[in-house]
Chains A and B, each alone.
Chain A
Amino acid sequence: MIVLKYVKTLDARFISHIDLLKHMSRILRRAVVPVKHSQGFNPHALIFFSPPTVLGVNSYAEYVAIDTDMKGEEVFTRYNNSVPEGLKAIEWFECAKNPNIQGKSVSADYVFDVDYFDVDLSDGLTVTYKKKEDFVTEDISGKICGTFNADGRLGVRLASGNNNLRADRLATALNEKYGKDIKVTTIAKLCQYVLVDGVEKSVDEYLRETP
């Protein structure tokens, strides 16, 4: 199993997660990376993704695990020759089985393109958004794991995985509460964290340790 860490930026950040899932087997086919298929009546390619990043956000921490016998270096090179700039791979890892990044995800770091400021969560932080046909108002403060100063910009760690917080919703909440003008298309996702045996660590660290 080879895991590629890739970016999703430029025009590619407007491709939805679902579309990219479908597209990945196409990319690997034109890259001539042989992908193993599941057995059974309806075989599908054994490709596994990290949790979706919201449309429009620039991500530097996307992962795809590919079940293949090809060497990592070769997969990496071939993949990169077959994708546009906005989807380039930046690193590769090898592991014995599907690392299940999606299932283990707990949080992710984002940097918002705005000067660092104190985000006060003591009274909660609400945001209203549309869910299907209804409007939902939610207190999202519990899903903000922390904030940090990222070279003068506002960095945040948000819940990811099953009970995630979409970065665009936090942007909306901050824009409303603090009169900011954070645009979703300027948000950058820098790091994805997973919970392994009760310890939170970056996916890179996890993959390096996994045999």
Chain B
Amino acid sequence: MNEYKKKIDEILLSVEKPARYVGGEWNTPDMTKPHRAKFCFCFPDVYEIGMSNLGLQILYDVINSHPDFIAERCYAPWPDMGAKLRENNLPLLSLETATPLKDFDVVGFSVQFELLYSNFLYMLDLANIPFYAKDRGEEYPIICAGGPCAVNPEPFAPFCDCVLIGEGEEMDLALLKLVADGKEKGWTKAQILEKAKEIEGVYVPSMLGEGEKVVKAVVKDFENAPYPTKPLVPNIEIVHDRATLELYRGCASGCRFCQAGYYYRPIRERSPEKCAEYGKKMIDSTGFGEISLCSLSTSDYTGLMDLEKELRPFIEEKKITFALPSLRLSSFTKEMAQSSRKSSLTFAPEAGTQRLRNVINKNVTDEEIDNIGRAFEAGYDSVKLYFMLGLPTETDEDILGIAEICRRLKKLYFEIRHKKNLNISVSCAVFIPKPSTPFQWEEQISLDEMLRRQSLLRKALREIKGVSFSWHGAETSVLEVALARGDKRLAPVIVRAYELGAMFDSWTEYFNWDIWVQAFKDCGVDMQDYVGEISEDKVLPWDFIDIGVSKKYLLGQRHLAYQGITTKNCREGCNGCGANKLGRCTIT
């Protein structure tokens, strides 16, 4: 046992949930094999969230399955543990072998969303690694970052030697090979990065030439892409405590606010046979009691019925549950309602009226909402509805339309079940204009306006029995937009916010709005520059990234939105977004 591990064991009993920090999960790969280079995945959120991330499990498996490389993990220690590490002069360590991050060849951060930027620095700080790439000498590992936020990496790019844009399966290995070669041949970091630039998807901030583009990395043969059939099994309860199947990447719906829907194109499906095989293997290797399906719009998956048929006998034999999350209204059928578990149904109409749903291209009609009736027939008594407030062109009528939907559902439930005890929970997020969507130029409504619209809706919903209402913090939404559409000027703002105490910003108990306001002010940066409407002819900080979908297409979609014209689902035919230049859309 190494010295660090011994010391960690001694402090573990003074922190909450010590099992977060010991590793030793079932299916942990061999960490002692001879290797050419070592990678450490850093997840800037707490263990229970990081362990639930499918992308990380996939990449961890890809690297560890390679004979030459080892990947370990590190999750952001909860503040109590962070304080203990400092108190005991211990650096941040990897979970598997208690190795300081500094001793790895590559440290890769998985940046899932903007409110984790402060934790990126929190982890570097605990690891005694300087924040800015320019301040790190040859003695430090290559620090990189990837994940959904790489869609606009500029705010955190100055902290990275390189940013991995797009899907990591092939990119991570290519980078590790290069780093291993570099180690063996004595290359400098700059020499390695010079070559890394040539790998598809790798962006080296210090070496991007004028007018140069970085093309997003895409796994072309998704059917045969590696998948972790022996995923890690956590020893404590985590957020997604089950076996997860990824059915496809990309999304055919084209909702105009949805970043993932555009970023993960082209649309590539995996066959139901393969998915079923993976599902069985995962249950056998982990003992999980549940299989869940993970994709952007699961019920659109062509092979859903076949998959369910393949898995059904296995599920019954093993007495496990099979959950179908985030069902899309338009593809909801009674069979599905019956075959999934009867707890609560989740639907996301996103907007209260047909008009606004046309604007955002959420192709869900009022008749389709009535489809929920089939779920009532199948025995469901509660429904969760997700909406967004502050969408482009939204009026009070649209907001009140949300209450109208609730009334409609209550009436429908009564007609079918002759009871009144339907529970509806309405959850509202604030619209966030995100890069690489048709709405990337939109303004976000002001804080005051958010509060006004929230209270308008709350009042309207209060009049309907059995409806509960929850909404996301308005201030975090403003910060999210600023960071999402930010440029390099935001790097010092993030550093300043961290110095002032920002961390775990995605946790309400830790989020401190005043800190961020102060940090922007101290750095002389106006938050409004990032939150207001952006002119269409302006060069955007993320324009140098080629995600496949063309800017022209996004702009066209924006204009259609304003005319209330919808775009058909890609399954009915290609709309020419441009993504298929990076790989074939298997659904067309």
Contact = CB atoms under 8 A, between A and B. Distances in A.
Interface of A: 10-12, 14-16, 19, 22-23, 25-32, 37, 55-56, 82-84, 86, 168, 183-185
Interface string B283-295: 1111111000000
Nearest to B284: A30
9 contacts: A11-B19, A12-B235, A19-B237, A22-B237, A26-B233, A30-B285, A32-B284, A37-B319, A56-B12
Contact of A23 (B17, B235, B284, B318): B235
B539 interface: no
A23 B234 CA distance: 9
Contacts of A183: 10
Contact of B236 (A19, A25, A28, A185): A19
A56 B285 contact: no
Nearest to A85: B24
B13 A55 contact: yes
Contacts of B285: 30
Given A12-B235, A16-B236, A19-B235, A27 B9 contact: no
Contacts of B288: 26, 29
B286 A26 contact: yes
A29 B318 contact: yes
B80 to A, nearest CB: 14
Contacts of A37: 319
A28 B235 contact: no
Interface string B9-34: 11011000111011110100000000
A36 to B, nearest CB: 11
Contacts of A56: 12-13, 18
Contact of B18 (A23, A27, A55): A55
B24 A12 contact: yes
B4 to A, nearest CB: 14
A168 B24 CA distance: 24
B286 A185 contact: no
B150 to A, nearest CB: 33
Interface pairs A-B: 6 shortest CB-CB: A30-B287, A11-B24, A26-B287, A29-B287, A11-B22, A14-B18
B287 A82 contact: yes
Nearest to A57: B13
B287 A28 contact: yes
A185 B5 CA distance: 12
A25 B10 CA distance: 30
Contacts of A27: 287
A30 B19 contact: no
B287 A15 contact: no
A24 B305 CA distance: 32
B26 A25 contact: no
B19 A185 contact: no
A145 B17 CA distance: 31
Chain B's interface size range is: 20 to 34
A14 B19 contact: yes
A196 B432 CA distance: 66
B286 to A, nearest CB: 6
Interface in B243-288: 283-288
Interface of B: 9-10, 12-13, 17-19, 21-24, 26, 233, 235-237, 283-289, 318-320
Contact of B12 (A14, A84, A168): A14
Contacts of B289: 25-26, 29
Given A26-B287, A84-B26, A86-B24, A15 B19 contact: yes
Given A27-B287, A183-B10, A84 B24 contact: yes
Given A12-B235, A14-B19, A185 B13 contact: yes
Contacts of A26: 233, 286-289
Nearest to B13: A56
Given A56-B13, A82-B26, A84-B26, 14 more contacts: A11-B22, A11-B24, A14-B18, A14-B19, A15-B236, A19-B19, A26-B289, A28-B287, A30-B284, A30-B285, A30-B286, A55-B13, A56-B18, A185-B9
A27 B286 CA distance: 8
A25 B287 contact: yes
A168 B13 CA distance: 10
Residue picked from B23, B26, B237, most chain A C-beta under 10 Å: B26
Contact of A185 (B10, B21, B287): B10
A96 to B, nearest CB: 25
A28 B319 CA distance: 13
A168 B287 CA distance: 33
Contact of B283 (A29, A83, A84): A29
Contacts of B286: 26, 30
Contact of A14 (B22, B283, B318): B22
A11 to B, nearest CB: 4
B19 A16 contact: yes
A20 to B, nearest CB: 8
A184 B13 contact: yes
B239 to A, nearest CB: 14
Contact of B24 (A10, A25, A32, A82): A10
B144 to A, nearest CB: 29
A175 B19 CA distance: 25
Nearest to A27: B287
A178 B531 CA distance: 63
Contacts of B10: 183, 185
B287 A31 contact: yes
Nearest to A32: B284
A175 B152 CA distance: 55
A166 B498 CA distance: 40
Contacts of A32: 284
A26 B26 CA distance: 11
Contacts of B287: 25-31, 82
Residue picked from B13, B233, B286, B288, most chain A C-beta under 10 Å: B13
B44 to A, nearest CB: 23
A89 to B, nearest CB: 15
Contacts of B23: 11
A74 to B, nearest CB: 17
B285 to A, nearest CB: 7
A25 B320 CA distance: 11
A102 to B, nearest CB: 22
Nearest to B286: A30
Contacts of A86: 24
Contacts of B318: 29
A82 B233 CA distance: 11
B230 to A, nearest CB: 10
A22 B241 CA distance: 11
A181 to B, nearest CB: 11
Contacts of B235: 11-12, 15, 19, 23
